[in-house]
Amino acid sequence: MKQYPKRQLSCKWKLSFKKKNLKENEFACLFSDFYSKAIFAREEKKGYLALLLSDIFGFPVLEEDLTFYKNVVGIDNMNDIAFQCDIVVFYKDILLILEFNSSRDLTYIMRNQLYQGLFHYQFLLAKKEKKIKKVHKVCLINFNNFYNRSNEVLMDYSNNRNEVDQTYTGNLQIVDIYLPIALKKYYNDGIKKEELSKLELLVIACYIGNIDKARKFLEGDDDLMCIIEDLLQVSHSKDAENYYHSVEDAKYKGISIGEKRGRTLGLEEGQEKAYMEMMRQLQELNVSPEIMKQLKKPKELKKSKNQRQHKK
């Protein structure tokens, strides 16, 4: 069994998110946006999600106790601002938000906590307006495809607490799942697969990425094998191909537009600051206000230039 230096775990131990040019016997990673939704967010396959949640929480979760909920949350009086979560589902009266994070980028982590806060806020308002009888608990589950250097655990549970270990609300909980820990346990620590959880086995199967090898690895676990077989089909479906083409097109279009807009805003801001600094220095030199009025602002110069070009 290949041993990996411990120092590499923080940066090189990740699940591969290979999406294109998969060979016939290869499948994509389950713990990514598109494939997690395709497998876990289907009403007819809700048993897969129940199996995963049972393993996470340590008690049986029945699929009849799961109800999919809207995965878009917005801000009151700001109709143009809405956020789309990966998977949102009620387990009895607890709202679960499942987010799949491909990198350690702090903006993703804070964004997910924003989703949690917005759902909780909506429940508070609904309770205040007597639309619901009690405020629902909101649990955020982060599936993190990166290694936590400070805490070598697969699952880390937390909630909002102050210095004396009190929570201002018991309705918010966060579960951080560090997927590469499963790889460390199996490949580095030599823990036998019989001692691993179903979640850990799924992670390792995705790391293997080959259906023949995955079948051999998961031999005897029919539930997990069904998930991997479905994942193989989805990986080679037209929906997957179309999805990633549209995502890439939108990404590059967005980058192009963003870069152009950023350059424009940066230039305008720089011109405005230069103008203000020039006016300040002229005031210190006691230049008359009449002369200073003749110096147009950058936006006015741009406007007059456009008018001249229009006349031509």
pTM reported for the whole predicted model: 0.72
Residue 45 scores a pLDDT above 50: yes
Between 278 and 25, where is the model more confident?
A: 25
Residue 156 scores a pLDDT above 50: yes
pLDDT bin (cut points 50, 70, 90) of residue 171 is: confident
The chain-wide mean pLDDT, for the chain, equals 79
Residue 292 scores a pLDDT above 50: yes
Residue 9 scores a pLDDT above 60: no
Report the pLDDT value the prediction gives residue 224, as an integer from 0 to 100: 97
Residue range 247-279, pLDDT digits in tens: 444 444 444 445 555 555 556 666 666 667 666
pLDDT bin (cut points 50, 70, 90) of residue 164 is: low
Domain boundaries along the sequence of the chain: 11-236, 254-311
pLDDT bin (cut points 50, 70, 90) of residue 239 is: confident
Q: What percent of the chain has pLDDT above 90?
A: 44
Report the pLDDT value the prediction gives residue 73, as an integer from 0 to 100: 85
Three-state SS sequence of the chain: CCCCCHHHCCCCCCCCCCCCCCCCCECCCCCCHHHHHHHHCCHHHHHHHHHHHHHHHCCCCCHHHEEECCCEEEECCEEEEEEECCEEEEECCEEEEEEEECCCCHHHHHHHHHHHHHHHHHHHHHHHCCCCCCCCEEEEEEEECCCCCCCCCCEEEECCCCCCCCCCCCCEEEEEEECHHHHHHHHHCCCCHHHCCHHHHHHHHHHHCEHHHHHHHCCCCHHHHHHHHHHHHHHCCHHHHHHHHHHHHHHHHHHHHHHHHHHHHHHHHHHHHHHHHHHHHHHHCCCCHHHHHCCCCHHHHHHHHHHHHHHC
Residue range 137-146, pLDDT digits in tens: 999 999 999 8
